[in-house]
Homo-oligomer: A and B are copies of this chain.
Amino acid sequence: MSTDRHYAREFVRTFFTSPTAVQGEDDSAKMLRSAAQLRGMRAPDVWVPDNEDATAPSMREEGIENIIEVVAEHGADFPGEIHPRVVWHREDPAARYQGFQQMLRVARSDTGAIEHIDGFVIPEVGDVDDWKKADEFFTIVEEECGLEAGSLSMSVIVESGEAELALGDLRAEMGKPSNNLERLFLLVDGEVDYTKDMRAMTPTGELPPWPELRHNTSRGASAAGLIAVDGPYDDIRDVAGYRERMEENRAKGMTGIWSLTPGQVVEANEAPLPPVDGRWLLEVGDEEVALEPDGEAQVYDGDEVGLDVVGDGEYALRVGGDERVLDDEELEAELLDMTAYVPSLDDIVDSMEEFEAAKEAGRGAIAMTQSTTVVIDGVSVEISRDRMWDEATYQAAQTPITLFQDVHEHRPDQHEDLEEMYGADVVERATAVGN
């Protein structure tokens, strides 16, 4: 099995769950109906009408009817994929049978809802044999309803120790002729229930960070050609924290994240896109501070770093409490070490085009120059860095571009937002480069 993705999307940024039935509302499908009509940056890549935790147990019968009704009505126009979540539990056969019935009901409905549904999400899975039970129900549903075998995707919520262990078996298991596990799509971490299953405790009750779980999910996805998605971020008002979590996740190869609100959807849709403007960072201790652009110069405006001219071509550079006297060359070297550049989408496209041209001309490696003027305490220092680009650098730089192109291809409803953000010219070049 190659690790080529068998489904259309290569990246999924947003996994948005919305309740299917709200007790006591006049219209119990109200929130569902509103989610189905989201567009642009407010619409998720994957929308999950949730008939599990977001719906009270007594409302799940009504919930599944709501899914059928709303998807039949709005599904054709929804810009993302639709993957309802049904009930399931590795230790509860009744829950599993109920999940099976829910899928069957959606698939058999004469409303045609199933035509707009890309797959189902199975929560609370256990070891890989439990995943196979779900897969078998998908297969039966497909057979019963005249769908092609494997046409419905299966996504799972990893929220137990045994499911985490199963992530290491998927690659081998998916190749077996006795199952249709090639239907697997998203591996989603569910940290709330995982924490409960692991019996973990924190003083304030906030969730542990679980870095190993996220690594293992991302690695499992990479090895089996799937897509890894992080779990919900409960504190929905904490936008900075949500962004930080997503940046951490991207460094782990996990590009997608669960969104609980349309506001989180916007954040999560935009977060993995390269920035509109490049920016310079100065590392101070363990922190990275953004420098303030002033024309071509980059100004540091803090107290932690200080710079003085103390003689002819002699400078006193202070970092925290530590001061050193340096000559021009040493100063530039030091500042080069302390600075880093975050490239914009435009910058990445430029570099890739430049490398492609060089490759065309028969050169395998070229030096890319980054230079600027850093201003600290009114003292200006020119810095310039050559970075060698070879095929490997080129390919690594390509990940954000591949993501951008994937978004552009599959989300026409976001074209306007992208053009407004980056300008039509950059968008056009970014969709063309590397192909």
Chain A residues close to B by CB (< 8 Å): 2-3, 11, 23, 53, 56-57, 91, 127, 160-162, 164-165, 168, 171-172, 192-193, 195-206, 208-209, 211-213, 215-216, 218-223, 237-238, 247, 250-253, 255, 272, 275, 281, 302-303, 321, 333, 336-337, 340-343, 364, 390-393, 395-400, 403
User: Which residues of the other chain, B, contact A57 by a CB distance below 8 angstroms?
Assistant: 364
How far, in Å, is A185 (CB) from chain B's closest CB? Answer: 15
Task: Please tell me if the beta carbons of B250 and A390 are within 8 angstroms of each other in the complex.
Answer: no
List 30 A–B pairs whose Cβ atoms lie within 8 Å, in order of A's numbering.
A11-B199, A53-B390, A53-B391, A127-B172, A127-B223, A160-B222, A161-B222, A161-B223, A162-B171, A164-B219, A164-B223, A165-B223, A168-B168, A192-B393, A195-B396, A198-B218, A199-B222, A201-B400, A201-B403, A202-B250, A203-B247, A203-B342, A204-B281, A205-B396, A205-B397, A208-B251, A212-B219, A237-B337, A238-B337, A303-B321
Q: Copies per complex? A: 3
Chain B residue with minimal CB distance to A336? Answer: B237
Task: Please tell me if the beta carbons of A198 and B252 are within 8 angstroms of each other in the complex.
Answer: yes
Residues A211 and B212 in contact in the complex (CB < 8 Å), given A198-B222, A255-B199, A399-B199 = yes
User: Which residues of the other chain, B, contact A390 by a CB distance below 8 angstroms?
Assistant: 53
Residues A208 and B252 in contact in the complex (CB < 8 Å), given A203-B342, A302-B321 = yes
Task: Please tell me if the beta carbons of B53 and A251 are within 8 angstroms of each other in the complex.
Answer: no
User: Which residues of the other chain, B, contact A211 by a CB distance below 8 angstroms?
Assistant: 211-212
Task: Please tell me if the beta carbons of B392 and A200 are within 8 angstroms of each other in the complex.
Answer: no
Task: Please tell me if the beta carbons of A127 and B204 are within 8 angstroms of each other in the complex.
Answer: no
Task: Please tell me if the beta carbons of A219 and B168 are within 8 angstroms of each other in the complex.
Answer: no
Give complex CA distance A395, B127 in Å: 22
Task: Please tell me if the beta carbons of B201 and A342 are within 8 angstroms of each other in the complex.
Answer: no
How far, in Å, is A320 (CB) from chain B's closest CB? Answer: 10
From A3, A223, A400, name the one whose CB has the most chain B CB atoms within 10 angstroms: A223
User: Which residues of the other chain, B, contact A223 by a CB distance below 8 angstroms?
Assistant: 127, 160-162, 164-165
User: Which residues of the other chain, B, contact A252 by a CB distance below 8 angstroms?
Assistant: 198, 200, 208
Give complex CA distance A204, B242 in Å: 19
Give complex CA distance A403, B199 in Å: 9
Residues A399 and B212 in contact in the complex (CB < 8 Å), given A171-B162, A223-B161 = no
Task: Please tell me if the beta carbons of B342 and A204 are within 8 angstroms of each other in the complex.
Answer: yes
How far, in Å, is A198 (CB) from chain B's closest CB? Answer: 3
User: Which residues of the other chain, B, contact A392 by a CB distance below 8 angstroms?
Assistant: 53, 192-193, 196
How far, in Å, is A152 (CB) from chain B's closest CB? Answer: 25
Chain B residue with minimal CB distance to A172? Answer: B127
Task: Please tell me if the beta carbons of B200 and A253 are within 8 angstroms of each other in the complex.
Answer: yes
Chain B residue with minimal CB distance to A166? Answer: B223
Task: Please tell me if the beta carbons of A198 and B219 are within 8 angstroms of each other in the complex.
Answer: yes
User: Which residues of the other chain, B, contact A204 by a CB distance below 8 angstroms?
Assistant: 281, 340-343
Task: Please tell me if the beta carbons of B171 and A168 are within 8 angstroms of each other in the complex.
Answer: no
User: Which residues of the other chain, B, contact A403 by a CB distance below 8 angstroms?
Assistant: 201
How far, in Å, is A55 (CB) from chain B's closest CB? Answer: 9
Task: Please tell me if the beta carbons of B343 and A205 are within 8 angstroms of each other in the complex.
Answer: yes
Give complex CA distance A2, B251 in Å: 35
Task: Please tell me if the beta carbons of B196 and A395 are within 8 angstroms of each other in the complex.
Answer: yes
User: Which residues of the other chain, B, contact A303 by a CB distance below 8 angstroms?
Assistant: 321
Give complex CA distance A205, B398 in Å: 11
Give complex CA distance A127, B173 in Å: 13
User: Which residues of the other chain, B, contact A220 by a CB distance below 8 angstroms?
Assistant: 161
Give complex CA distance A53, B208 in Å: 34
User: Which residues of the other chain, B, contact A205 by a CB distance below 8 angstroms?
Assistant: 343, 396-397
User: Which residues of the other chain, B, contact A393 by a CB distance below 8 angstroms?
Assistant: 192
How far, in Å, is A6 (CB) from chain B's closest CB? Answer: 15
Task: Please tell me if the beta carbons of A340 and B399 are within 8 angstroms of each other in the complex.
Answer: no
How far, in Å, is A216 (CB) from chain B's closest CB? Answer: 8
